[in-house]
Amino acid sequence: MTDASVTSSPDALPPPEPVRIGLVSVSDRASSGVYEDKGIPALREWLERALHNPVSWVTRLIPDEQDGISTTLRELVDVERCDLVLTTGGTGPAPRDVTPEATLAVADKVMPGFGEQMRQISLRFVPTAILSRQEAVIRGRALIINLPGQPKSIAETLEGLPGATPPCPGIFAAVPYCIDLIGGPYLETRENVLAAFRPKTARRPSRG
């Protein structure tokens, strides 16, 4: 007997479930037009490569204002009904870096493992990674994750460092199962980019 999750033809599978994803770039200068935002394009490019699911995007470019960030996160989850919200920027120790505080203010549950793993990945490159304060939380049936501000760091934290010694898993490998557990859509990743991890009992046939 063969494993259906390995041998099933992608053409025989039902279409992937649609997902709504919120992308938030937090930056005083980008939001005021001083320079072009690179966070949202980097997030969207990586997710389009990584996911089979059709995505409805909801994007926001906002300044480093704690109340405004919290209001935006509530809107994306409670009004826009996003299943996943990713923020970029505003997670350092500077006075204007308030994204973690704004995120915790809207949380029903805190998921500290995401931030811990992001710092582990970044520490492979720079000792100042310990200064980053990324958080992840659950609000309702949505997962909210703070990511770094630089496009290269965004990709590294999402995808991990599979070629490193030892390999360092990216945080997105755990995102689909987390969203399963909170009642969201079934996210399907392209395994040539990143293989999502689920227990055997939670897996559906794979598209590869």
pTM of the full predicted structure?
A: 0.93
DSSP, collapsed to helix, strand or coil, labels residue 116 as helix
16-202 belongs to CATH 3.40.50.300? no
- Cα 140 from chain centre: 16
Question: What pLDDT, on a 0 to 100 scale, did the predictor assign at position 29?
Answer: 86
pLDDT digits (tens, 9 = 90+) for 59-103: 999 999 999 999 999 999 999 999 999 999 999 999 999 999 999
pLDDT bracket for residue 58 (50, 70, 90): very high
Residues in the chain: 208
Kindly report the number of other CB atoms within 10 A of residue 73's CB atom: 26
How many Å apart are CA 50 and CA 45, to the nearest integer? 9
Question: What pLDDT, on a 0 to 100 scale, did the predictor assign at position 1?
Answer: 39
Signed CA dihedral, 104, 109, 113, 118: sign only: negative
Q: Would the pLDDT of 187 be above 60?
A: yes
Sequence-distant (6+) residues with CB within 8 A of 166 are none
Question: What pLDDT, on a 0 to 100 scale, did the predictor assign at position 28?
Answer: 87
pLDDT bracket for residue 34 (50, 70, 90): confident
Classify the phi-psi angles of 160: left when phi > 0, otherwise alpha if psi is within -120 to 50, otherwise beta.
left
Q: What percent of the chain has pLDDT over 90?
A: 83
Sequence-distant (6+) residues with CB within 8 A of 176 are 186, 187, 188, 189, 196, 198
